[in-house]
Amino acid sequence: MRPTDHLRALAADDWQAATRHPFTDALADGTLPADRMLAYLQQDHLFIDGFVRLLASAIANAPSLPDAIPAAQFLGLISGPENTYFLRAIDALGGTCEPPAPAAPITAEFQALMAQAARSGRYEQMLAVLVVAEWSYLDWATPHADKAADLPFWFGEWITLHSGEGFEGVVAYLRSQLDSAWHTLDDDAKHAVETTFRHAVTLERRFFDAAQSGFPSP
Ligand SMILES: Cc1ncc(CO)c(N)n1
Ligand SMILES: Cc1ncsc1CCO
């Protein structure tokens, strides 16, 4: 079994809950209320900030230039001028990006996990969080890809950004990096990857739980 299949199997319950979630089901059938989508995107915009820094750390810690290049290309894509999805969608839903929304507790937890992985100096820790974030999004979005074109763009584009050949390639690359790194790790480091991977999957599930109920204050 590939190490990343082993990791996903360890988190099977939360993985299933995060990738077959009522929030993404409602998003994909177009019935998600606009205020819920807006609040989700405003929180996810804060998530992407930490994500970009984590991806940059992974690029800096990749074992070779060929290992780093696909991540650098993905970073360019998501931070490039053609990626105006957040701006356009938040605007169309009647919200603003500036000033940034205060982070909900679950968003702050995600930011903390990403920051911890980024400063760990451990490539496999960075990959554990990146693999969960991208693979879980590929997994929920793929079954809905055929419906995306008929949806308002703030739903449809969020599905197409996370499905299809290009994004499958990103996930395949991230998984293969973690699979390769895994074989170099001692038992303690493997266990630490398992812990981080499971934590990240739990946070993905809880992020959708919170988004579904509109990020209620605790
Ligand atoms: C919370 C969360 N996880 C993963 C992704 C995909 O990068 C995202 N946009 N937001
Ligand atoms: C692919 C993508 N598009 C906008 S943000 C983002 C990163 C999370 O997948």
Which of 51, 162, 167, 204 is the best mutation target for the ligand 1 pocket, counting ligand atoms within 8 Å of the beta carbon and taking the most? 51
Is 204 a catalytic site residue? yes
Tokens of 182: 């895994």
Low-confidence ranges of the chain (pLDDT < 50): none
Name the closest-CA residue to atom 4, ligand 2. 78
Task: With CA atoms as reference, report the closest residue to 75 among 90, 59, 87, 64.
Answer: 59
**Around Cβ 91, how many Cβ atoms within 10 Å?**
13
pLDDT of residue 83: 84
190 Cα–ligand 1 center, Å: 24
Q: Which residues contact 180 (CB under 8 A, 6 or more apart)?
A: none
* Chain segment 131-157, per-residue pLDDT in tens: 999 999 999 999 999 999 999 999 999
Overall pTM surpassing 0.95 (yes/no): yes
Determine whether the annotation assigns residue 82 to a binding site.
Answer: yes
The alpha carbon of residue 13 and the mean position of all alpha carbons in its chain are separated, in whole angstroms, by 18
Query: Ligand 2 atom closest to Cα of 85?
Result: 4
Tokens of 84: 């105006």
pLDDT of residue 163: 97
Strands (DSSP E) found in the chain: none
pLDDT of residue 218: 67
| Residue carrying structure tokens 């993404």 | 24
Domains identified in the chain and CATH numbers: 3-213 (1.20.910.10)
36 Cα–ligand 2 center, Å: 19
